[in-house]
Structure 1
Amino acid sequence: MSEEELQLPAECWELVFKFLNPIPHFEPLSLVSTQFLSITNLLRTSLTISNPTLPFLPNLFRRFSSITSLHITRLHHSHLHTLLLQLSRAALPLQSLNLSGQPSLPSNGLRAFARKIPTLKSLICSHMTCLRNADLLLIADCFSFLEHLDLSFPENNDNSTDPVSDFGVKALSLALPKLRSVNLSGNYFISDTSILSLCKNCERLGEIIILECHFITQRGIASAIHERPCLRSFCVNNFGYGTKKGDIARPYVTSDFISALVGLKGLTCLDLSCSSISDELLCCVAEEGIPLKKLVLQGCCNYTYVGVLCLLSSCQSMEHLDLQNTEFLCDRRVEVLCEFLGNLVTINVSGCRTLTDLALFALIKNCPLLNEIKMEATDVGKKGMDEELVNGVVNYRVKSLYLGRNSWLRDESLEMIASVCPSLEVLDLSSCCDISEGVVEVLRRCSEVRNLSLAFCSGVKLKGLEFEVPKLVELNLSGSRVDDETLSVISKCCRWLLHLDLENCYKVTANGVREVVDKCRRLREINLVSCCEVEASVVAWMVFSRPSLRRIMAPPSFDLSGGQREFLLRHGCIVSL
């Protein structure tokens, strides 16, 4: 096709390209013409930077001038300092910076970055090796326009001489007047004072996440949220454990906490994971007409079906519901709850051991907007679906289905599920050991599947696959018993794969790997960890034979010494063991 035939206005092509998701689809488009290259360069707004990327950054910044979001993976402290200096000279319209997993924050580099980009709106510093009060003061000094801040789960809590404490959080609260959401999860030394400072001083604060903060009490939470009644999202866990007078064993939720919670008239998200709650709390939320759209009660105790029914029957705007590991749920109760879940988009009932196919079918049938279902480690497959009951029922909205660790699941049930959810895009069947050829029928009926996990499915058989699966881009076969013959089938029918996981596939050899790499011309990542029958020589062959490969997890026979890793990296592929 000549460029003359493609001369539509750039704005038209831009609208077309925005429908393509995810970003890797831009790569082949950028090769079509100089116009397409220019448009796709401008459409890319996020970039992940790792050690192998560093030498190419000047070219990348010139090419992708519309980058607003950067994720910097773990770098050496000095490399991060240099990178921040480089970013300060790049003139990118950055709004979000993710530094998660870094060893520490380089103060000089961050100050130089902040002088050029003072209006940064989002900063993520989760899982830092070292995070101290001094770092919070640095952030407060550098980024006064921050709206979103994540300081969750630093790794130095137990041995730091200056761990994050109430002093640092108070300084942040005074310096960040525009702050809208904050995540302080896993900062063990903060107390009620921290959350009170945030709620008093940050007038725009709408979201607080304080998971695993053990010194924060119900009394402190109640006092804090009284100061900020406009909160829209509140996440806390492991609270409510204590004793009432005269009742040594019974955990409790205080009336002060309930009173404060129901005072949040605009609350749309409530996460109380792994807490001791009560029916009284749930019923009070229902009575006040709180407009909840997301409710997470994963692992909670001391409440019953009565409380859940009361809340859901009154709050029928619920879109996201997590009742993972709820002991009292059964098929019949799920059927009743479905009457009030007409707006539900996602649900997680994994670990609810008594739920079977009947509960799954009730959700599919009665929740017309449902997009994602998680029912891992349940009894799906135990009762089967009656064909007369299923006849005529189809839900085209369900796109993601997670059914891992369902030991009762067989091919018959799986095929029935596929017939009522024909638009599936994500299907996780990990550790469903008794499924075999049914997966082929699922792929036949669900032509939109793009992500399929068959990890540890020891009985799965794909050799009957005789048709193309053009949408499948991610396939996880780790721990299964697939062999070279299966890989041959995959190479012919799944030629558009981007990611293939073969970890612990002990029957796979270099011959099968060569065939799948040769035929799958878009392959970007392959995992061969613990594939003991795959020779080391296949790694170099893959790098030179398949230019699209960006990451190889090598088989155990491969030796990374002698500069091989750097040599292969120069050819654009990261190789690791």
Structure 2
Amino acid sequence: MAKSCSDLPDECWELIFDRLHKLHHSLLVSPSLTCKRFLSITNTLRTHLTIVHPTTFPISTLFNRFPNLDSVYLRFFCSEDLNRVITDITTSNLNLKTLDFTGTDGLPLESWRLIGSRMNNLRVLICLGLEKLRDIELVVIADSMPCLEELDISYPVNDFGSDHDELEGRSPGEVGVTDSGIEVLSSKLRCLRKINLTGNEFLTDKSLIALSTNCVYLTEMVVLNCSVTEYGIEFVMSNSTKLSVLSVDEIDFDLLDDCSIRCARNISSLAIYNSKVPDEYLNLLVKADIPLKSFTLSYCMCSQFIFSGISSLLDKYRSLESLDLDGINLLTDENMSSLSQCLSALVTISLDCCDNLTESTFFKLAKECPLLEDISMGGTNLGRGGDTAIDVVKNPRIKSLNLENNSNLSDECLAKLALVCPNLEALVVTSCKGITEKGIADFLKSSSNVRKLRIDECGGIKNIGSGFELLKLDFIGATRSGINDDGLVVIGNRCRGLLNLNLDGCFGVTIVGLKEILKNCERLRKINLTGCLNVSKEVVDWMVFTRPSLREIILSHSSLPSESQRELFLRHGCLVSSE
């Protein structure tokens, strides 16, 4: 058998490993450690690479190791190191389609030009939270990368200091992105399909008009926290005929022209936040007969008759797959019971901060929505549904459940929810003060497929209970929970596949519990010990060299080892830092 396996050609192994990779990326770790041949094959399957600062240099070795990368995500790099990474990228043989600079310092203009000249097939550029993004950078990006199809310039930092005198005399374009920059960009990026403008406070309706006029292939626009008005949104909906995704906030939809929604005949995803939305506008959406698949009406100012409009809309669009009604306090269990009859195609729903809803709504959704995978009911009134007999029906499709900030949620109620979700993979019960370790233990007995568990701010939970091994659980978030050394012993024994453990603010954690975790969790890659007052910095070197799988240890700033020690740990593949 061993001989026949060794005779298999690389192409066959690649098909096998590719299937594993599609199931879950972590499944390639073991084969890659088996032999150099398998390592080489698995390396060719990686197409995405995330590099978080600080990291070891040169990273050019990574680009040689993974020759088929098409997407590189850089996180939180400072200017000096970022320039070195850009040099490595542009001198490699990579054929990148996506570059992500989330949270990094700003790039010099020459670096933008260099990227454009060397990365001819770049189609997606993400500059989320980029420091120093102004009109001049935007113009250079447009000149250097004319084939861009997706651009994210949301939430630029542009921190020029708090001294207002320093900003005096400067034009808006010198301290941020303005309409002038967007107008130039839109005239040069004719192939642009998706753009996120969120958080650019200087942008007005002029930017929307320019984009809608010049970028005729535009299919997606996200424009939140800008200075746009109803007029700009109306222009986009009337003129961008290919637009399928639109996200807006702080718009008075009572002022929009009726014909604008009729012109936006390709809208499949519409998200409205913090806006004034009359019942009449929802009725216009019904009459528009658009291919709506995703609808968000979040924290909006609605009339007492809003249920009528929502009901008509959901009755019309019964093929809706995603629904977000966060903060619509007028909704009740009775309302949702009626609405659920129209949601047979729903895959994900969010009802956060609808404080009149109880577990009755949850059970009704689980029963009436057979395709439902993701339910978010944070900040509702779970646990206050009374003793009314409820028809509990299992829904094996439900994979993710967010119940955070439900102060009345009890162990008994959680147990009922567990019966409904036998195949749950992610559970969030952050700040659910009424839950104890018994509730979590009972839940895990019913839902053994859980991969991610968040029990942050749950002081009553000291451990996750004894029982069978939880082979799939790879993330536990226990920030400021009651987890102590005894709890870590339980986690170490039951969760041997753990990859990420957050113990921020767990005062009962000491080296005794950590020894059990590091001994048993052989795949552990990241651990957060911020605020663990009984864990000294002297144990860090022991942790790094005891568990070679560790890639990141987060400590309080006062507990950080010396810079020379951190450099030593980094050379051994583990980043030791503070948040």
TM-score normalized by the length of structure 1: 0.94
Distance of 1:535 and 1:80 partners within structure 2: 32
- 1:104 shift after superposition: 1.1
Distance 1:3 1:139, change over 3 A: farther
Give yes or no for contact 1:239–1:275 (8 Å, CA) kept in 2.
Answer: yes
The match for 2:163 is none
- 1:325 shift after superposition: 0.7
Give yes or no for contact 1:95–1:122 (8 Å, CA) kept in 2.
Answer: yes
Describe the SS at the equivalent of 2:568: helix
Deviations 1:464-488 (A, max 9, x none): 4121000000011111112211111
Indicate yes or no: 2:240 matched with 1:228: yes
- 1:555 shift after superposition: 5.2
Distance of 1:261 and 1:463 partners within structure 2: 51
- 1:10 shift after superposition: 3.8
The match for 2:230 is 218
The gaps in structure 2 that reach 5 residues or longer are 161-166
Give yes or no for contact 2:56–2:570 (8 Å, CA) kept in 1.
Answer: no
- 1:410 shift after superposition: 1.0
Distance of 1:562 and 1:63 partners within structure 2: 29
Describe the SS at the equivalent of 2:73: strand
The match for 2:329 is 327
The match for 1:541 is 542
User: For residues 92-491 of structure 1, what are the structure 2 equivalents within 5 Å?
Assistant: 92-156=94-158, 161=171, 162=174, 163-214=176-227, 216-240=228-252, 253-256=254-257, 258-303=258-303, 304-383=306-385, 389-390=391-392, 393-436=393-436, 437-462=438-463, 464-491=465-492
Give yes or no for contact 1:358–1:385 (8 Å, CA) kept in 2.
Answer: no
Give yes or no for contact 1:470–1:495 (8 Å, CA) kept in 2.
Answer: yes
Distance of 1:24 and 1:53 partners within structure 2: 21
Distance 1:260 1:491, change over 3 A: same
Distance 1:280 1:24, change over 3 A: same
- 1:294 shift after superposition: 0.8
1:422 alignment partner AA: P
The match for 2:35 is 33
Deviations 1:17-69 (A, max 9, x none): 33444423322220123342222111111111233435141221111001111
Distance of 1:236 and 1:291 partners within structure 2: 19
Give yes or no for contact 1:100–1:125 (8 Å, CA) kept in 2.
Answer: yes
The match for 1:87 is 89
Give yes or no for contact 1:532–1:557 (8 Å, CA) kept in 2.
Answer: no
The match for 1:247 is none
- 1:196 shift after superposition: 0.7
2:314 alignment partner AA: L
TM-score normalized by the length of structure 2: 0.93
The gaps in structure 1 that reach 5 residues or longer are 241-251
The match for 1:522 is 523
Deviations 1:392-413 (A, max 9, x none): x210100000001111111111
User: For residues 559-570 of structure 1, what are the structure 2 equivalents within 5 Å?
Assistant: 559-561=560-562, 563-570=564-571
Distance of 1:33 and 1:103 partners within structure 2: 39
Distance of 1:83 and 1:271 partners within structure 2: 37
Distance of 1:178 and 1:134 partners within structure 2: 21
Deviations 1:80-102 (A, max 9, x none): 22322221110112000001222
Distance 1:54 1:135, change over 3 A: farther
Indicate yes or no: 2:90 matched with 1:78: no
Deviations 1:96-134 (A, max 9, x none): 000122221222122222212122000011211211100
Aligned identity (percent) is 38
Distance of 2:261 and 2:156 partners within structure 1: 28
CA RMSD, Structure 1 to Structure 2 (Å): 1.9
2:246 alignment partner AA: F
Deviations 1:420-461 (A, max 9, x none): 110000000111111120211211111110000011111125
1:170 alignment partner AA: E
Deviations 1:147-202 (A, max 9, x none): 10011111228857412111111111111111111111111111111111111111
Distance of 2:507 and 2:54 partners within structure 1: 30
Distance of 1:3 and 1:552 partners within structure 2: 42
Distance 1:62 1:317, change over 3 A: same
Distance 1:79 1:308, change over 3 A: same
- 1:136 shift after superposition: 0.8
Greater CA drift, 145-154 or 19-28: 19-28
Describe the SS at the equivalent of 1:435: coil
2:69 maps to which of 44, 53, 67:
67
- 1:386 shift after superposition: 6.0
Distance of 2:234 and 2:549 partners within structure 1: 54
2:193 alignment partner AA: R
Describe the SS at the equivalent of 1:466: coil
Distance of 1:344 and 1:422 partners within structure 2: 19
Distance of 2:251 and 2:35 partners within structure 1: 58
Aligned positions, number? 562
Give yes or no for contact 1:231–1:266 (8 Å, CA) kept in 2.
Answer: yes
2:92 alignment partner AA: A
Describe the SS at the equivalent of 2:299: coil
Distance of 2:2 and 2:28 partners within structure 1: 19
